[in-house]
Amino acid sequence: MSAPQNETVPEAMDTDKMKKGKEELAALEVQIGEYKALAKVNFEEALEKLLALEKQKRLAAEMAPTRMVCVAIVQACFVTSSWARLNEHIILLSKRRSQIKQAVVGMVQESMTYIEKTPDMETRVELISTLSTVTSGKIYVEVERARLVRQLAKIKEDQGKVDEAAELMQEVAVETFGAMAKTEKVMFILEQVRLCLLKKDYVRAAILAKKISPRTFMEKEAPKEKTKKATADQEAPPEQAALEGTPLLPELKLMYYELMIQIHKEANEYLDICRCYQAVYQDKAVADDATRWAPVLTKIAWYVVLAKHGSEQSSMLHSVAAEKKLQELPAYHSLLKQFITMEVIRWPTLKQGYEAEMASEADIFGGEIGAKRIEDVHQRVVEHNILVIRKYYSRLKLERLAEMLDLSEDEAERHLSDMVVSKVVSAKLDRPAGIIAFQDRSKQEPTELLNSWASNIERVLALVDQSCHKIHKECVTHKVPIGA
């Protein structure tokens, strides 16, 4: 009978201890309330009493009371509009000996709510700078620091100081933050990329954009029995709640691909631009709205035509041409059909027929780069025609090739040479006779194929032999047993 009684003693002691702690916190709250009321009458006296109380609780290593007092000091400064004293005491309290981390966190979080309530921009910048100084190098307030830097960068951008704003944002590596919600991380990195694009730093923008994987935007289906609130909590748990106003993943996805399109446009990476537009086109919000998917699909059609010939481009070209919704855009359906059909395309006819469509796509064919894009379309037509001609001819006069391509003989030779160098086609040109001989690598003789394999294997074995010899030499030189 005595054993159960002994077990209930610690439980009773814990209950009494918790009850006593709650009573002390309630008494402290009342005391702090009195000091806050005094601050409106005599700010200096109230501040002095609060600082003395903070010291007492801090030295006693009482976490919750110290946090309450620090937050009360900040609130007293705010209520009396003592912005200079607020900045001063934020730094003072954070640097005090044996200061508790939770007290600093509470003080910083409370002070951040005052940023939008500052009387002028100068006071706001000063408060943000003070909080940034306090949070610098402290992991437990890294999320708050990132949000402060973003606010300061926004102010700099509004003032026209884009370079300074970009440099501020680049100093923060949010991808390493474990306490920040995924959506807020993505939004922060997108802001970094956007500012780099504003200052025309495309290289750094591309590097920063690689921190976001396209798989990030793949939404997981929530179980049917869970409510919308449960799904939201799963996306951003309480300890990782995103900042209010942060867009959801579908909106961030569209923002991400819009920025990626700008980066790829600078380098004229047409196939990558086409992939980005395809990702936008597959988004549910875009696919369900005819006013949004139609312009995106026209851009996909143009960029897949502009992309250089290759296996991936050919596969994408056929998949886009097979898209059912493309039939609702007959001009573009006809355009892609010409490129997947093994027939020669007459460039003058194509250019004249699609002149209006090109003029309507100002972001593709407009501006300074518009002429180059039209020339690239012409080059894709020439490449397509050469591939068609190679299929039907084994030997052909250069003069006849130039005639079918609607080019001069020199231009036809140049385009053919470029395709031979890039190994798109295999051909030989007899210049004195002006005859082109197309070669089909798939019809290579078995003996020639075996000889090429034997030659390749011989070279590989020679390299292995040389490597073994050098390894043996190093082992002998340094007196290292072989195989050790």
Query: Do 390 and 463 fall within a single domain?
Result: no
Predicted TM-score (pTM) of the model is 0.77
Q: What average pLDDT does the segment 270-282 reach?
A: 92
Residue 122 lies in a domain: no
Determine the residue type at 335: L
Residue range 25-40, pLDDT digits in tens: 787 788 778 887 887 8
CATH number of the domain residue 341 falls in = 1.25.40.570
Q: Both tokens of residue 279? A: 């990702």
Same domain, 342 and 468: no
Residues 437 and 296 in one domain: yes
For residue 193, the model assigns a pLDDT of 93
Helix 83-94 vs helix 101-112: crossing angle, to nearest 10: 160
433 with 308, same domain: the answer is yes
331 assigned to some structural domain: yes
Q: Is there a domain that residue 82 lies in?
A: no
- Give the SS3 label for residue 435: strand
Q: What is the largest CA-CA distance in the chain?
A: 116
Residue 204 lies in a domain: no
- Determine the structural domain holding residue 385 and report its residue range: 290-442
Instruction: Kindly report, residue by residue over 73-110, the tens digit of the pLDDT.
Output: 888 888 888 888 888 988 988 888 888 889 899 999 99
User: Do 301 and 400 share a structural domain?
Assistant: yes
Residue 68 placed within a domain: no
- Residue with more model confidence, 10 or 25: 25
C-beta separation of 348 from 406 below 8 A: yes
- Contact criterion met (CB below 8 Å) for 66 and 27: no
Q: Answer yes or no: do 472 and 342 share one domain.
A: no
CB 347 within 8 A of CB 403: no
Give percent of the chain above pLDDT 70.
89
Q: Could you report the per-residue pLDDT of 417-475, keeping only the tens digit for each?
A: 988 888 888 888 888 888 888 877 555 567 777 777 888 898 999 999 999 999 988 88
The region, left, alpha or beta by phi > 0 then psi within -120 to 50, assigned to residue 452 is alpha
Same-domain pairing of 431 and 391: yes
**CA-to-CA distance for 223 and 353, rounded, in angstroms?**
52
- How many Å apart are CA 409 and CA 32, to the nearest integer? 92
User: Could you report the per-residue pLDDT of 289-312, keeping only the tens digit for each?
Assistant: 888 899 999 999 999 999 988 888
pLDDT tens column, 325-367: 888 999 999 999 999 999 999 999 998 998 888 888 888 888 8
Structural domain contains residue 171: no
Helix (H) or strand (E) run with residue 436 in it: strand 435-438
Residue written as token pair 């409106």: 40
Give the tokens for residue 13: 């002691």
Question: Is 84 inside any structural domain?
Answer: no
- Same-domain check for residues 384 and 467: no
CA 206 to CA 211: how far, in whole Å?
9
Are both 333 and 343 inside the same structural domain? yes
Output Rg (C-alpha) for the chain, integer angstroms.
35
CA pair distance 195, 205, nearest whole angstrom = 8
Per-residue confidence (pLDDT) for residue 223, from 0 to 100? 47
User: Count H helices, E strands: the chain?
Assistant: 24, 3
Residue 261, SS3 per DSSP: helix
Domain contains 355:
yes
Of 7-21, 97-111, 161-175, 455-469, the poorest mean pLDDT is in: 7-21
Together in a domain, 322 and 397: yes
How many structural domains comprise the chain?
Answer: 2
Task: Kindly state whether residues 400 and 461 are assigned to the same domain.
Answer: no
- H-only helix segments in 288-346: 290-306, 311-321, 330-340
Identify whether residues 365 and 377 lie together within a single domain: yes
